[in-house]
């Protein structure tokens, strides 16, 4: 794949370089490079700007341009994966031209809620456990391929023809730990039949599970995998807040 050309921020039809616009071009480039990047993913499927990094990263393909700004697309393929922050001493420049867009998540439960699944390369043990629980939880006779998982997830995480997260209603008391719900327009993760409020930096409040139905953000196939025994990693603030 050819690397994307970095365009001049002053005259986008020209390549970046001092010979084009001198200090104005270089100055704007430096300012934009120093800005916080839009690469943090929330449990509600939004990609936002926030300085907190999180415990996991992942990708959905190349979503940014030569100036490290997101375009209209929020995915380029169906293989939305969640990865470790470090793997085999590999080094990456964040949002390098022509390379996939690095996305960051507070924890794995956040990534699953946003529609991602464990990566087969850097998180093979987790991917195997997820696939086994995915098959059991979703009533599949055989272990599904990655493509089959991706197809099922994509149909469950996005409202057809939009970029909006698909959600469902379920009885709160029946949801397993690690599933995200939406209460009062905020994202909360289930833990010990209580709810912990999500923020980009960690969980900061706890409340009782509401009676009756709640809105589930986690795609139902992943919620079924969690119910069948898959245990998504939670940020350390969850245990600290819950007292265990």
pLDDT in tens, 51-71: 888 999 999 999 898 899 988
DSSP string, 102-114: PEEESSHHHHHHT
Provide the whole-model pTM: 0.83
90 has a pLDDT exceeding 90:
no
- The predicted structure's pLDDT at residue 4: 44
- The predicted structure's pLDDT at residue 225: 98
148 has a pLDDT exceeding 70:
yes
Q: Give CA–CA dist 46/30, Å, rounded.
A: 26
CA angle 133/88/105 to nearest 5° reads 55
Please state, rounded to an integer, the average pLDDT across all residues of the chain: 87
Q: Which of 7-11, 75-79, 156-160 has the lowest mean pLDDT?
A: 7-11
Neighbours of 55 (CB within 10 A): 17
């Amino acid at each position: 794949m050819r690397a994307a050309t970095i365009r001049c921020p002053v005259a986008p039809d020209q390549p970046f370089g001092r010979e084009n616009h001198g200090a104005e071009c270089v100055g704007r480039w430096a300012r934009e490079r120093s800005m916080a990047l839009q690469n943090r993913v929330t449990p509600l499927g939004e990609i936002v700007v926030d300085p907190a990094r999180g415990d996991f990263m992942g990708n959905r393909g190349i979503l940014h341009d030569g100036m490290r700004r997101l375009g209209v697309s929020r995915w380029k393929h169906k293989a939305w994966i969640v990865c470790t922050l470090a793997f085999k001493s590999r080094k990456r420049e964040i949002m390098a031209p022509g390379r996939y867009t690095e996305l960051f998540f507070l924890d794995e439960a956040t990534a699953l809620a946003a529609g991602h699944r464990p990566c087969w390369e850097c998180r093979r043990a987790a991917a195997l456990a997820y696939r086994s629980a995915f098959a059991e939880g979703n009533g599949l006779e055989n272990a599904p391929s990655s493509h089959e998982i991706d197809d099922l997830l994509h149909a469950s995480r996005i409202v057809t023809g939009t970029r909006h997260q698909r959600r469902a209603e379920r009885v709160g008391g029946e949801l397993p730990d690690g599933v995200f719900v939406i209460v009062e327009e905020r994202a909360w993760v289930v833990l010990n039949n209580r709810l912990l409020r999500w923020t980009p930096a960690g969980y900061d409040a706890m409340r009782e599970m509401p009676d009756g139905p709640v809105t589930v953000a986690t795609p139902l196939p992943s919620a079924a995998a969690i119910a069948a025994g898959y245990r998504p990693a939670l940020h350390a603030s969850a245990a600290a807040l819950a007292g265990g």
